[in-house]
Every structure is written in C-alpha cells, then in structure tokens.
Amino acid sequence: VHLRRLVRACSRPVDDAEADDVAACEAVRAWLLADQTPVGDVFEAQGGGLTTTVAAEAAIASSPPEKAVVLYRLVRHLQPRVVVELGGALGLSGCYLATALQRNGRGRLVSVEGSPSRAAVAAQAVSSVAPGVSEHRVSLFDDALGALDGADLLFNDGNHFAEAVLRYGDEARRRMARPALVVVDDIRDYSPEMTLAWDQLRRSGQSAEIGSLGLLRLT
Ligand SMILES: C[S@@+](CC[C@H](N)C(=O)[O-])C[C@H]1O[C@@H](n2cnc3c(N)ncnc32)[C@H](O)[C@@H]1O
C-alpha cells in the first residue's frame, strides 16, 4: 500500500460500513468518561499509588474520535497480523485497533501499559468490543520491546521523550516484520522535542502525516 493512498483512505468521513464499530468504541468512551474509579499513572507499579480517576484520564489522555478512526482504518487497510501499542492507557485506542482486527478476521493486538490499574480497565474495555483479540501487558515499554518481534504495526503513544521515540524507532527497525508501519502520536503541537524526534525518525523511511500522527513505513 502506497503511503499517499493510505493517507487519502484514512482522511474521509466515517461511512456506513464503519459506523457500527465507531459507535461501539464511542460507547466505551462514554462509560469511561462517567467512571470515577481511581487509577494510577506510569509510576503506579513503583509505588506511586492511585493518582487520578478513569473519567479524568479518559478526558485528557484517550485518543479523540478523529484520531482513533485513523488507527482503525490503518488496521483495516494494512491487515496486520500483530499490532503493538506502547501506551494502552484505558483502552480507547485499543478498542479501535482491536475492533478493526476483529473486522479483518485475523490479527491480534499486544497493548503495553505501565500502570496496572489502567491496564485492567483497558483489558475490560477492549474485550467488551472485541473479545479475544487483545493481550494487555503491564510493563514499562523498555522491558516489553520483545513484543515488537515480527509485529507489522506499532502505535507509539506513551513516552514523549525524544531519546525514547528514536530508540523505539531503532528497535522497530531491528525487530519488526517487513513491510511494517510505525505510527507515532503527538508529532506536532505537543513539544519541540517530539517534533524534532519525528523529524529525525522520518528520515529513515517513507513517511507521511495525518493530523498529529506520524507514519513511517519500514521496508
Ligand atoms: C497518552 S496515554 C495513551 C492513550 C491511549 N493510546 C489511547 O489513545 O487510548 C499514554 C500512556 O502510556 C503510559 N506510559 C507512558 N510512558 C510509559 C512507559 N515508559 N512504560 C509504560 N507505560 C508508559 C502512561 O501510563 C499512559 O497511560
């Protein structure tokens, strides 16, 4: 799939064939936004405790519908066998990725999240829309990079330090199947550091951008 065609296919209004899946994922967002259960952050497993609520995190950290629909379409178009998500949070992006895999009729999602309480919410959220499609690993990303071995799509939506973004890019190049697609969130309008990291990373392959998502094709 040529990247330019892929970008075009991902940048259009939701059509009838997608509407039910989008509605199911957005119903999950609605219950997350109403859930006052306490959850932790990335430091929870190191003793950080429960610092926020599902509702508060869903409002600020979960991919908004327009971004999540792009993720859904990337999976529908590319038909990956293994999708890895670094930064599962409460499972919203995971719902879209897993629903698309379910619709494809093949493929699985490995979602990595450092906060055990968030990962538990995500596991429940994702299995409510796409049972049996996802695996939720509670781990720091650095300890879970083996998940990239043979994967063909990576959604990197967690660590926003340049060093990590570039290192995970190197690991992706070393470990992923070919062809593969690396998707990095927050490449523009997040921080100068993220934009610089993306500008460096994108030189290593064919790249494109859809909103805040950077797409890097590994061949
Ligand atoms: C922006 S949120 C992910 C949102 C999610 N992809 C969605 O759209 O629904 C980033 C998540 O990454 C996790 N995270 C950040 N750095 C991490 C690291 N080094 N190891 C493990 N988890 C990390 C945070 O705990 C947080 O839940």
Cβ–ligand 1 contact at 41 (below 6 Å): yes
Q: Which residue owns the Cα nearest ligand 1 atom 14? A: 158
Cβ–ligand 1 contact at 140 (below 6 Å): yes
Cβ–ligand 1 contact at 134 (below 6 Å): no
> What pLDDT does residue 139 have?
97
d(CA 86, CA 113): 7
Rounded to a whole number, what is the distance in angstroms from the first to the last CA of the chain? 11
> What pLDDT does residue 196 have?
96
> What pLDDT does residue 207 have?
97
Q: Which residue owns the Cα nearest ligand 1 atom 26? A: 89
> What pLDDT does residue 70 have?
98
Cβ–ligand 1 contact at 63 (below 6 Å): yes
Cβ–ligand 1 contact at 87 (below 6 Å): yes
> What pLDDT does residue 185 have?
97
Give the global pTM.
Answer: 0.97
Q: Are strands 206-210 and 213-218 parallel, antiparallel or unpaired?
A: antiparallel
- Give the model confidence (pLDDT) of 133-192 as tens digits: 999 999 999 999 999 999 999 999 998 999 999 999 999 999 999 999 999 999 999 999
Q: Strand order in 134-138's β-sheet?
A: 134-138, 108-113, 82-86, 153-156, 180-184, 213-218, 206-210
d(CA 108, CA 179): 17
Q: Residue 184 C-alpha to ligand 1 middle, in angstroms?
A: 12
Q: Residue 163 C-alpha to ligand 1 middle, in angstroms?
A: 16
Residue numbers in the chain where pLDDT is lower than 70: 1
Distance of CA 33 to the CA centre of its chain: 19
